[in-house]
Amino acid sequence: MNYETLVGFALATAGLAVSPGPDNIYVLMQSITNGKKYGLATVAGLISGCLVHTTLLAFGISALIKANDSLFFGIKLLGAVYLLYLAFQVFKSDADITLSENNVPKKGLFQLFKQGFIMNVLNPKVTIFFLAFFPGFLFSESLSTVTQFYTLGFIFMFVSAIIFSAIAILSGFISNYLKNNSKVGGYLKWLQIVVFVGIALYILFSEN
């Protein structure tokens, strides 16, 4: 078992979770507008949705790995290309982080949990991202691929939950800090680019 691969996966996940995206911005705005516990309910929904994507990935890709090693290499290659594409999209995007409390409706805790879950499960970009991200971090020759994908999924969920929960709890401070420090958006933009490119290169040069 390669523990360095798991540590690298956890660090890459942390970098992605910290970087501004629709999910953590949504958590931040719900926490600012409705309160921290409402932000945490949103986090719980979003993270629960990841289990569905992990399950689809584990059983779907595992069958392909058993059937054809060359096909699995093709999946990893496409994944690396997709991550480089995401890095390019971030590079082209505006570095400013826009926070708007307008149009953030007040909802109950269960409603926010359900909405976060549905947002995650029905987002095809999450499925594609998992497909691009996970296969390059398989870490054991003895464990089944299903077990490995679930392990990676739970690490992804655990790390993301910690960071998203911190965003919800520290929402007031984060909001004020972002408003008072305009350069932060640029730093986080380049963090995203470095993480995406780093993962893509790792996948390209890792052993099949």
* 77-94 burial code (b ≥16 CB/10 A, e <16): eebbebbbebbeebeeee
Joined together, the tokens standing for residue 176 give 């004020």
- Cut 0.85: pTM above it: yes
pLDDT tier at 110 (50, 70, 90 boundaries)?
very high
Instruction: Please give the average per-residue pLDDT across 30-36, as a whole number.
Output: 90
Q: Per the structure, how many domains does the chain have?
A: 1
Tokens of 87: 């890095």
What per-residue confidence (pLDDT) applies to 124? 86
The answer to whether the beta carbons of residues 144 and 62 sit under 8 Å apart is yes
Predicted confidence band of residue 22 (pLDDT cuts 50, 70, 90): confident
Please give the residue range of the domain that contains residue 169: 3-205
CA of 110: how far to CAs of 28, 55, 94, 160, in Å?
Answer: 17, 23, 34, 20
Q: How many CB atoms lie within 10 A of CB 196?
A: 27
pLDDT at res. 162: 97
Q: How far is residue 24's CA from residue 26's CA, in Å, rounded to a whole number?
A: 5
CA-to-CA distance for 69 and 138, rounded, in angstroms? Answer: 14
